[in-house]
């Protein structure tokens, strides 16, 4: 489950279990949580969150739905996704909880600074589309603060404004965005999934792909259509 030279691949393995509603043993979850927690605050960590390895910082990461993210966005999304996974693992040890608290503080400092910018009136926004989705996924797991407000305004205003036509959005990675939307029980999220339905329907009707990310997208399309 742990990929010793890749934080993103370790997170991917845990997200695979969660996506398919499976769980590892309590002992395994504790071991993984402590391994992730030990990455907190290391060189390359975004805002005192969880650091990827040198190759991840150089080449970027691939998120659960297959989109490649690079540069500062990759470092930020790793921090949000690692925080989310630690919450899902449910480990309560002091080292894990301490690391998560410090990561939360670092991200909250960033959000508070962003709120001071008069150009940013949306509390559900984090610099760009892909980073905003990373934020939403951490919020959905119970992280940070003002979860419902940030999610509903982020989706109902920010995402809606980026509709590009034909079920797609500008600046937001399509499948990573859908992955977040299917977890939201808000009218704003259902409206965006309904908007994206033409793309989702085409994906659901295709033959089941052989690639890992293709299979995930195929399954996600079905779930998203069921939520509309």
Domain extent listing, the chain = 1-116
Mean pLDDT of 156-162: 97
- For residue 121, report the phi and psi dihedrals to the nearest 5 degrees: -105, 5
pLDDT exceeds 90 at position 15: yes
Q: Which residues sit opposite 50 in a β-bridge?
A: 40
- DSSP-derived letter for residue 46 is G
Q: Is 40 helix (H, G, I), strand (E, B) or coil?
A: strand
- Model pLDDT for residues 178-195, shown as the tens digit of each residue: 999 999 999 999 999 999
- Model pLDDT for residues 48-80, shown as the tens digit of each residue: 999 999 999 999 999 999 999 999 999 999 999
Full-model pTM: 0.97
């Amino acid at each position: 489950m742990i990929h010793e030279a890749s934080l993103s691949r370790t997170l991917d393995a845990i997200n695979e279990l969660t996506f398919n509603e499976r769980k590892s043993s309590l002992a395994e979850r504790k071991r993984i949580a402590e391994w992730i927690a030990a990455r907190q605050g290391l060189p390359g960590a975004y805002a005192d969150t969880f650091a990827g390895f040198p190759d991840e910082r150089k080449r970027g990461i691939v998120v659960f739905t297959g989109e490649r993210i690079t540069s500062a966005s990759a470092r930020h999304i790793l921090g949000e996704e690692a925080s989310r996974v630690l919450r899902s693992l449910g480990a309560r040890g002091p080292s894990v909880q301490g690391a998560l608290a410090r990561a939360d503080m670092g991200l909250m400092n960033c959000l508070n600074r962003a709120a001071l910018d008069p150009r940013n009136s949306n509390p559900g926004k984090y610099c760009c589309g892909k980073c905003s989705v990373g934020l939403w996924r951490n919020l959905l797991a119970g992280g940070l603060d003002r979860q419902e407000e940030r999610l509903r305004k982020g989706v109902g205003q920010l995402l809606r404004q980026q509709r590009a036509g034909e079920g797609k959005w500008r600046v937001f990675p399509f499948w990573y965005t859908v992955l977040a939307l299917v977890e939201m029980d808000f009218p704003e999220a259902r409206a965006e999934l309904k908007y994206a339905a033409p793309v989702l329907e085409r994906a659901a009707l295709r033959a089941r792909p052989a690639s890992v990310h293709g299979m995930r997208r195929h399954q996600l399309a079905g779930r998203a259509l069921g939520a509309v």
